[in-house]
Amino acid sequence: MSDNKGDLNLSDLAASLPAATSALSAEDREGLVNALKNKLQGLAGQHVDVLENLTPKVRKRVEFLREIQTQHDELEAKFFEERAALEAKYQKLYEPLYTKRYEIVNGLVEVEGVVKGGTDETPAEDKTTEDVKGVPNFWLTAMKTNEVLAEEIQERDEGALQYLKDIKWCRMDSPKGFKLEFFFDENPYFKNTVLTKTYHMIDEDEPILEKAIGTEIEWFPGKCLTQKILKKKPKKGSKNTKPITKTENCESFFNFFSPPQVPDDEEEIDEDTAEQLQNQMEQDYDIGSTIRDKIIPHAVSWFTGEAAQGEEFEAIEEDDEDDEDDEDEEDEEEEDEDEDEDEDDGEDEKEKSKIRKKKSGVAPKGGEGKQVERPAECQQQ
């Protein structure tokens, strides 16, 4: 084992590095990590060492544990490195499959067994749809089936999302993060053919988001889906007889490309604003990671609804486990209540005994009483 008693957790240290350092070479980055590490160790030496408050035997054990932790951190660093290489390897293997999916969805190629132009077996009522190419509304349907994305897609968004041809993602190394690309056919809503969303991560292994950047959408006049125009009639007696128009922001999936921004001067943010901003950024990252990790690799399953059913089944299992836990807690509470009731019943029985004694003319202990003759039916009982 090495004798680095002051080693710090390298994964924690990496998470504290600014995103800009990912643009450095591996050698420079290692040097920067070591410099920061030495500085932090120097600062740590200014404070009371926890080990000094331990007995010699316990201190020796903790020092040994720190050596084990160092070995763990070294293995963890190798794991992250190998995992990134493995993901990159399989991402290349996925690409041909994604290409085939794109070609079929958009009608660029036909699958075996489907004859172009229809056949004699086509029902008469389907003649109008026999020339439909590809799989219409493929991505719109896939996204709407996902619970997270369904909340973001408004009815007025669907017209534009019908022109969505493909969604891709790629990993970024400088700066660290990932990029989503949405490819659109020519449409009457905006000029862009590609809309992008980029996530800059402080630490990619532990998803700590630094900021997100989206494409500025070039809307055609009157087609902006992220704003709505309100018309208000002028007040009675007003000289202006024309309706007053007002533009305000509205809910839309396309707000995804205008993510919340962190102000440069964080000191200007109060606590409530900071918490609200953090919640917005977490929600924005949740949408982006859902598209990257669920929609893109399993789009067909989301289109058919199989993926949604799988998630519902998992949710039911989780609910069942939660219900079992709740039932166990309720059983424990009921047992406690039964014990309390037994105690109360004992007290009640004592009170009833006193009442019976009073009714039968038996005086409480230490008191005077008179025997009262009971009716015959009471005596038979």
What's the pLDDT at 341?
58
Q: Structure pTM?
A: 0.65
What's the start-to-end Cα distance of the chain, in Å? 87
What's the pLDDT at 379?
36
Tell me the C-alpha to C-alpha distance, in Å, between residue 76 and each of 9, 62, 72: 10, 21, 6
Q: What is the domain partition of the chain in residue ranges? A: 135-235+242-263+271-314
Got the DSSP string for 62-95? HHHHHHHHHHHHHHHHHHHHHHHHHHHHHHHHHH
Q: How many helices (H) and strands (E) does the chain have?
A: 10, 6
Instruction: Let me know: does 162 contact 138? Beta carbons within 8 Å.
Output: no
Residue ranges in the chain whose pLDDT is less than 50: 1-24, 46-47, 120, 352-381
Tell me the C-alpha to C-alpha distance, in Å, between residue 240 and each of 229, 232, 247, 248, 320: 19, 12, 19, 22, 63
What's the pLDDT at 209?
85
Q: How far apart are CA 211 and CA 199, in angstroms?
A: 6
Instruction: Let me know: does 281 contact 214? Beta carbons within 8 Å.
Output: no
Q: Where are the alpha helices (DSSP H) in the chain?
A: 10-15, 26-45, 56-105, 138-145, 147-150, 158-161, 271-290, 299-304, 306-359, 376-380
What's the pLDDT at 116?
65
What's the pLDDT at 189?
98
What's the pLDDT at 129?
56
Q: How far apart are CA 186 and CA 294, in angstroms?
A: 26
Question: Which class for 28: exposed (0-12), middle (13-18), buried (19 or more C-beta within 10 A)?
Answer: exposed
What's the pLDDT at 118?
52
Q: How far apart are CA 179 and CA 63, in angstroms?
A: 43
What's the pLDDT at 319?
66
Q: How far apart are CA 113 and CA 136, in angstroms?
A: 19
Torsion angles phi and psi, residue 109, rounded to 5: -135, 160
The upper half-sphere exposure of residue 183, i.e. CA atoms within 13 Å in the direction of its Cβ, equals: 10
Instruction: Let me know: does 127 contact 118? Beta carbons within 8 Å.
Output: yes
Question: What is the CATH architecture assignment of 135-235+242-263+271-314?
Answer: 2-Layer Sandwich (3.30)
Q: How far apart are CA 282 and CA 256, in angstroms?
A: 13
